[in-house]
Structure 1
Amino acid sequence: MTKFTRTIAGAGLAMAMMAQPVFAQDYPTRPVEFIVPWAPGGGSDILMRIIANNISGYLGAEMPVINIGGVGGTVGLAEAVRRPADGYTISQVHEGLLTATAVGMTDLAWDDFDLIALMTASPQYLVAATDQPFDDFEGMVAYAQENPNALTVGVTLGGVPHLHAAMIAEAFDFEWRYVGYEGTGERIRAVVGGNLDVAIGDISSSLSFAENGDLIFLASGTEERIAQTPDVPTFMEMGADLDLLITRGIVVPKGVPEDVQVTLEAALEQLAMDETFIQQINNSGADVMFRGREDYTTYLRNLSDTVERLAEVIAP
């Protein structure tokens, strides 16, 4: 468990004890279906199945996963939002819903749901090819400022990596050219192969290449440096308040009774402190980062403001 996770989880538990929330007395009485709006085998599916496989001891019910993929997660979410608001259907969102809304891919928005808890975070990095005229982030910024649009950056056009790259450019006042790739692995291979200058990557896609000397990590989107990349500075160290993560949280259809929401939130908070669960999430390349209903809402509302401001930039 990271320092941040322990702090958030501990504070949340203390507040919950003081508030003495009213839990649903007769919920759940049957399995709670978990609509994962992505195909089996991807990052969201893997991480959400870890939640589903470990939650029953805290919630008191099984949580079968139903994969409904398509159109950047929006097909499954459209099904989830139509389900009865009784607490027996949950789903998952990440920042991709905000970008999909901003660029007109879907009419759905994050606040069409009731938010229960943010559960996991996957730190994002800016990585670079090793044959660039710079060898650290500060050098890259100086080069980019002196040579507008000279650098190519690999992203998923209209997706979260595109948003993150646009946030970096805005924060450090430079311009670069966005090049679209379907997935993280494709753009990292393009960097290693010399077809891209820099890209948005993560630990699972990039660390082995960095260890082999095929690319370098320039900066991380975490609040603090992390153990796997202790020598990589954060964007915050460089003077920008950038929190570049892909987070995954649990949502329910709008209108689920308050006591049912409290029960779900409490079960997920307890799960977030389970050492076995934490290890399984870490082994899958992510961190546990619990934020309850209020904090999760604040996080998405602030991020939504950023996405709307950059919508014209990230439109594919």
Structure 2
Amino acid sequence: MFFRTGFAALCAAATLSAAPLAAQGYPERPVEFIVPWSPGGGSDTLMRLVAGNIEPHLGVELPIINMPGVGGTVGLREASRRKADGYTISQVHEGLLVATETGITDLAWDDFEPIALMTASPQYLVVHPTDDYGNFEEFVSYAKENPGEITIGVTLGGVPHLHAAMIEQAFDIQFSYVGYEGTGERVRALVGGNLDAAIGDISSSLQFVESGDLAFLAVGSPERVEETPDVPTFMELGADLELNVTRGIVMPKGTPQEARDKMEAALQALSQDETYVEQTNNAGASVMFRGQDGYHAYLEKLDATVKSLSQVLAQ
């Protein structure tokens, strides 16, 4: 009897001690990375840098599976259906929040577990040079005096549309929107004088600013950008605005906390990896790490903003 009781106790103790060891052993196999965009685009490029550099920090590979379609929502739908065991991650940016609010998808950011914001591409208010305004303060004054006269190039119903609407809301001005499919197309229209302003970034616009064909009036990063030290942030100009295209990592809802913490720690270590940082900068983005709490807060605040602009974005 003692033998059976003692043996049972030993088994129970072994089971209890094995549980934390199993958690500590995660991950024990590669973690699939669903990138909901086509190969070669900005998100795909930046996520391949994550996948290509994380193994020393995570201990396993992150094989990428591209699942493009419907503004990134096809791949995210698949990711949301995956088993919440820590062996699937995916990537989101601001486009998901816009797609949710405009009815493109019934998926929402909080259908996932936000793990880490990894990169940000600060967005700029770019203008065609004019005598009507030479800086942002003069731009706002002109816009107030001439409501709806300034034409601005955006992707209608997309992230650039959201960013322009955020500027309108923050400074109580009104634009006339002109839709373009991509950043390059609207920047070319701006250079050609077919637009007054546009939402752009360094990779699409800096060469034209340096040649004098365009001008940056403000940037949506929390702090001034190293490549454009003379361009003020919207925060400096009096508005609590962050205008970025960010790329963050999410896991299926209900993924165990141990797996989320391990993935977050690996991504944080990666964000401090000099090789990864350099590669990301060379790809036209900046590393801007925010962990689970910070990323959740960022998405929650942005979601409230998107909801407040739903009527504008639906036009």
Report whether the alignment pairs 1:154 with 2:153: yes
Within 2, Cα distance between the matches of 1:230 and 1:296?
Answer: 26
Q: Distance in 1 between matches of 2:166 and 2:264?
A: 31
What amino acid sits opposite 2:247 in the alignment? R
Deviation at 1:26, TM superposition (A): 2.4
Contact 1:36/1:66 (8 A) holds in 2: yes
Alignment partners' CA distance in 2, 1:22 and 1:202: 46
Structure 2 Cα separation of the partners of residues 168 and 223 of structure 1: 15
Structure-1 separation of matches of 2:229 and 2:265: 33
CA offset at residue 23 of structure 1?
Answer: 8.9
Q: Distance in 1 between matches of 2:234 and 2:255?
A: 38
| Partner SS for 2:177 | strand
Q: Secondary structure of 1:267's partner?
A: helix
Q: CA deviation at 1:182?
A: 0.7
**Cα-to-partner distance string for 1:204-261 (whole Å, 9 max, x where unaligned):** 0000011111110111011221110011111111111111111111001111111111
In the TM superposition, what is the alpha-carbon distance from 1:173 to its structure 2 partner? Answer: 0.9
Match of 1:26 in 2: 25
For the pair 1:185 / 2:157, whether they are aligned, the reply is no
In structure 2, the residue matched to 1:201 is 200
Q: Which residues of structure 2 form unaligned runs of 5+?
A: 1-19
1:73 aligns with 2:72: yes
- 1:24 is paired with a residue of what secondary structure? helix
Q: Deviations over 1:182-216 (max 9, x none)?
A: 11111111100111110000000000011111110
Aligned amino acid, residue 39 of structure 1: S
User: Percent sequence identity over matched residues?
Assistant: 66
| 1:84-233 superposed matches below 5 A | 84-131=83-130, 133-233=132-232
One-letter amino acid of the structure 2 residue matched with residue 208 of structure 1:
Q
Deviation beyond 6 Å, 4+ runs, structure 1: none
Q: Give the counterpart letter for 2:275 in structure 1.
A: T
Instruction: Pick closer, same or farther for the CA change 1:170–1:89 going to 2, 3 Å.
Output: same
1:22 deviation in Å? 9.5
- 2:263 corresponding residue in structure 1: 264
Kindly indicate whether structure 1 or structure 2 has the higher relative contact order, using CA contacts under 8 Å at least 6 residues apart.
Answer: 1
Structure 1 length as normaliser, TM-score? 0.91
State the match for 1:16 in structure 2.
none
Query: Partner residue of 1:14?
Result: none
Distance of aligned partners of 1:215 and 1:33 in 2 relative to their CA distance in 1, 3 Å threshold? same
Partners of 2:90 and 2:270 in 1: CA distance? 17
The match for 2:13 is none
For 1:155 and 1:291, how far apart are their aligned partners in 2? 27
C-alpha distance in 1, partners of 2:205/2:177?
Answer: 19
Q: Work out whether residues 99 and 307 of structure 1, in 8 Å CA contact, stay in contact via their aligned partners in 2.
A: yes
What is the rounded CA distance, in whole Å, between the counterparts of 2:213 and 2:149 in structure 1?
21
Q: Which residue of 2 aligns with 1:11?
A: none
Matched with 1:299 is 298
Q: In the TM superposition, what are the counterparts of 1:278-293 in structure 2 within 5 Å?
A: 278-293=277-292
Q: Distance in 2 between matches of 1:100 and 1:109?
A: 9
Determine the C-alpha separation between the residues in 1 that align with 2:112 and 2:240. Answer: 28
CA contact (8 A) 1:24 1:263 kept: no
Q: Distance in 1 between matches of 2:171 and 2:301?
A: 20
In 2, distance between residues paired with 1:60 and 1:161? 37
The residue that corresponds to 2:246 in the other structure is 247
The one-letter code of the counterpart of 2:58 is L
- Distance in 1, Cα, partners of 2:49 & 2:131: 40
CA 1:286–1:22: 2 relative to 1, 3 Å: farther
Instruction: Return the offset for 1:24.
Output: 2.7
Count of aligned residue pairs for this structure pair: 296
**Alpha-carbon contact 1:128-1:218 (below 8 Å) kept:** yes
C-alpha distance in structure 1 between counterparts of 2:61 and 2:223, whole Å: 36
C-alpha distance in 2 between matches for 1:139 and 1:259: 52
Instruction: For 1:253 and 1:210, locate their aligned partners in 2 and report how far apart those are by CA, in whole Å.
Output: 42
Q: CA deviation at 1:132?
A: 5.3
Q: What SS class does the counterpart of residue 157 from structure 2 fall into?
A: coil
Structure number with greater Rg is: 2
Structure-2 change in CA distance of 1:212 and 1:22 (3 Å): farther
Q: Distance in 1 between matches of 2:259 and 2:23?
A: 5
| Contact 1:225–1:233, Cα closer than 8 Å, also in 2 | yes
> C-alpha distance in 1, partners of 2:147/2:98?
25
CA distance in 1, matches of 2:173, 2:22: 51
Local SS of the residue matching 1:120: strand
Tell me how large the CA RMSD over aligned residues is: 1.3
| CA distance in structure 2 between the partners assigned to 1:39 and 1:23 by the alignment | 36
1:57-72 residue pairs with structure 2 within 5 A? 57-72=56-71
